[in-house]
Structure 1
């Protein structure tokens, strides 16, 4: 097979695996930003915090980092509930969530980054599970388990979230709360309670994405800043509250970014990926799966 074609195919496959990780990170934001209309700028920082706790617990107990990511998700769910409680009490119920609420999440982001530096130092952290150096081969295509296993975990989490939002009453209420909170009150459903649960879910997803991230690449306390643009771009491009759109946008974003880095160098990949985002929004402002106003 032509070497350039082999390189292209492997770049596409690696991009799809990377896109699975992006999907896990962006799906939590699709809940908080797309469904709840909460601009949680601290979402990537919470993801990095999840990565560091996975490193701490995994190193101490000798557990698989992906297993730790799943086991710690309930704790991050409770953390998300607590963060939303503060946000609602001081900003949302006063109608000051626009600017002051955004500043609040900026503060949360910087507190997390400073706390990680103080607790772990500024050095990069990384975990090598037993399968990290195993690569499956399908003809000329390589499937490194270091990327495949986190991608499968991310897709499983996204699939369970999709089923929960579609098949349960609480999930349907989460999808509806930002559109018509008064209608929920008429059905004897407390919108604040629904938002609290949904925000907890979004933070739990961030922690799972962080656990997947630390298997794929090293992380440091400021790594969240690298992902802010990516996760918001994927969320917007996918259609804000659409999980299928979020998944497809994440996969496409990962492929465009990885193929560009393969053939033209890493410095070009963000420019091309975000340029492609602008092109999509120019022709479809509501995103790939968003509904036109």
Structure 2
């Protein structure tokens, strides 16, 4: 096989693995925006908090980055519940989810960045793990472990959440809460409590996504801004509230960015990815697997 074909195969494989990472950083938005209709602009900031939690666990205590994030999951879940409660009392209860409600999450985004800068500085931070660096060679292509591990973590997280949402009472209530709160109350479920649980879950996913991020690349406090547009694009492209659609959209953007970066240069990758978003929505406004 010639070099260009081998380069193409490796670019596609890297794109699929990168798409798995994009699914990890987007799954929280799929819950908050796709299911709860809450535009959480601050989600990438929580992902950065997850990255720094993995960094502290790894450098201070010598714990694997993924395990550090798993340990931090309850803290992030409670942080998400608290964030929603403040948002509900200040805005949603007053039926004010306009720009003033959006400003709450902008405020969280910038406050988090400032806290991270004051705590860790503006230098890039990295973690150490046996799977950061090596690759598995499978003949026609290589599997870099620093991409494979986040891909596997993302798939476990997405499948687990999909099972929870489809097979448990609370999960089905989360899917229904943005559609018909009156019917939900008839089933003896408190919509505010359900939203608080769901938002807690959306922020808990940020802990694992943050570990995936710092495994793939060094992080600094403002790097989360690079993902704001991308995660919302993936959720919209996949179809609001559709986890399988979100995964397909993440893979599509990952492959598109990898191919573009390989053959045309990395500076073109974001333009091509968002071009795919615009074309898809022009043909199918509800997204790939939208209702």
- When the two structures are superposed, what TM-score results if normalisation uses the length of structure 1? 0.98
* Root mean square deviation of aligned Cα: 0.7
Q: Determine whether 1:168 maps to 2:204.
A: no
SS in 1 for 2:131: helix
Tell me, yes or no, if the aligned pair for 2:238 and 2:290 is still in contact at 8 Å. Answer: yes
Tell me, yes or no, if the aligned pair for 1:18 and 1:254 is still in contact at 8 Å. Answer: yes
Partner of 2:83: 83
Tell me, yes or no, if the aligned pair for 1:20 and 1:250 is still in contact at 8 Å. Answer: yes
- Specify every segment of 5 or more residues in structure 1 that has no aligned partner in the other structure, as ranges: none
State the Cα distance separating 1:68 from its structure 2 match.
Answer: 1.1
State the Cα distance separating 1:98 from its structure 2 match.
Answer: 2.0
Partner of 2:240: 240
Residue deviations 1:42-77, cap 9 Å, x none? 001110111011101211110110111122111100
Partner of 1:142: 142
Q: In 1, Cα distance between the equivalents of 2:125 and 2:4? A: 34
Residue deviations 1:4-29, cap 9 Å, x none? 11101101111111110110111110
Q: In 1, Cα distance between the equivalents of 2:62 and 2:13? A: 30
Partner of 2:32: 32
Q: In 2, Cα distance between the equivalents of 1:203 and 1:146? A: 23
Residue deviations 1:128-175, cap 9 Å, x none? 311212210111200011110111011101110000001100000000
Count residues in correspondence.
Answer: 291
Q: In 2, Cα distance between the equivalents of 1:230 and 1:85? A: 27
Q: In 2, Cα distance between the equivalents of 1:253 and 1:72? A: 29
Partner of 2:206: 206
Q: In 1, Cα distance between the equivalents of 2:188 and 2:167? A: 19
Partner of 1:281: 281
> Which range moved further: 134-143 or 169-178?
134-143
- Specify every segment of 5 or more residues in structure 2 that has no aligned partner in the other structure, as ranges: none
Q: In 2, Cα distance between the equivalents of 1:69 and 1:16? A: 23
Residue deviations 1:114-141, cap 9 Å, x none? 1100000011111131121221011120
State the Cα distance separating 1:34 from its structure 2 match.
Answer: 0.6
SS in 2 for 1:96: coil
Q: Determine whether 1:14 maps to 2:14.
A: yes
Counterpart mapping for 1:43-192 below 5 A: 43-192=43-192
Shift >4 Å, 4+ stretches: none
Counterpart mapping for 1:230-269 below 5 A: 230-269=230-269
SS in 2 for 1:66: helix
Q: In 1, Cα distance between the equivalents of 2:186 and 2:78? A: 28
Tell me, yes or no, if the aligned pair for 1:69 and 1:212 is still in contact at 8 Å. Answer: no
Tell me, yes or no, if the aligned pair for 2:57 and 2:64 is still in contact at 8 Å. Answer: no
Q: In 1, Cα distance between the equivalents of 2:260 and 2:215? A: 23
State the Cα distance separating 1:247 from its structure 2 match.
Answer: 0.5
Q: In 1, Cα distance between the equivalents of 2:80 and 2:58? A: 22
State the Cα distance separating 1:208 from its structure 2 match.
Answer: 0.8
State the Cα distance separating 1:245 from its structure 2 match.
Answer: 0.3
- When the two structures are superposed, what TM-score results if normalisation uses the length of structure 2? 0.99
Partner of 2:219: 219
Q: In 2, Cα distance between the equivalents of 1:218 and 1:140? A: 28
